Amino acid sequence: MLSMVGLIGMWRLLQRSYPLTWVFSIPLLIFPLPYYITHPDLRYLHPLQPLLVILAAYAVADANQKKKKTYIQ
């Protein structure tokens, strides 16, 4: 669940094209590749959990902001 919401947050960042989006996208794309190929184990996801929490929080905050905008208009 956290991974999915984190990826939604990454998608939202990529849509808005913030200048430092690459800081969040590179670790998510590069870091787990060798481990996914050699060891399909969840413990290799643990270093990425803080980043996924930040992205998930961004996705929830962005969705909440859009929801508030529709109520105001």
Tally of CA atoms within 13 A in the half-sphere of 19 that contains its CB: 0
Put simply, whether the predicted model's pTM sits higher than 0.75 gets the answer no
15 versus 68: the higher-pLDDT residue is: 15
Copy the structure tokens of residue 41.
Answer: 């184990």
Q: Is the pLDDT of residue 15 over 90?
A: no
Q: What is the pLDDT of residues 32-46, one digit of tens each?
A: 777 777 776 777 778
Domain count, the chain: 1
Q: Cα-flanking dihedrals φ and ψ of residue 16, to 5°?
A: -85, -10
Q: Is the pLDDT of residue 25 over 90?
A: no
Residue 20 has a CB neighbour count (10 Å cut-off) of 8
Domain span including residue 31: 2-72
CB 12 within 8 A of CB 59: yes
